[in-house]
Amino acid sequence: MLVKIDVPESALENAEKLREYVVKEIAFELYRQGVISGGKVRQLTGLSVLEFFKELKSRNIYLNYDKEELFEDLKTLEELKKKQVL
């Protein structure tokens, strides 16, 4: 697999910013390819759910969400209702 990343000059000035930029770019590219989940992207980048969705939109990346995930979410909601969390 080949991942190409264009790194802006400004990112090279600070090593930590560069690391964060590279991790973010790779994480979103792997998500686009279906290699990792959105949760993993958020874990790697430290983004909130809302920030993650905004980033997907800005990159024109569709949300990877299939039937299994829907059923899993519905099951979780039912469990939370039973525990009266919701």
Give per-residue pLDDT as tens, 21-79. Answer: 999 999 999 999 999 999 999 999 999 999 999 999 999 999 988 888 888 889 989 99
Is the whole model's pTM more than 0.85, yes or no? no
Please state, in angstroms and rounded to a whole number, the distance separating the CA atoms of residues 53 and 74. 20
Per-residue pLDDT at 86 exceeds 70: no
Domain ranges of the chain: 9-82
Predicted local distance difference test score (pLDDT) of residue 11: 66
Per-residue pLDDT at 5 exceeds 80: no
Give helix 15-32 / helix 38-45 axis angle, nearest 10°: 180
Predicted local distance difference test score (pLDDT) of residue 31: 95
On whether the CB atoms of residues 33 and 26 are closer than 8 A, the answer is: no
Rg (CA), the chain: 16
- Structure-model confidence comparison of residues 32 and 5, the more confident one: 32
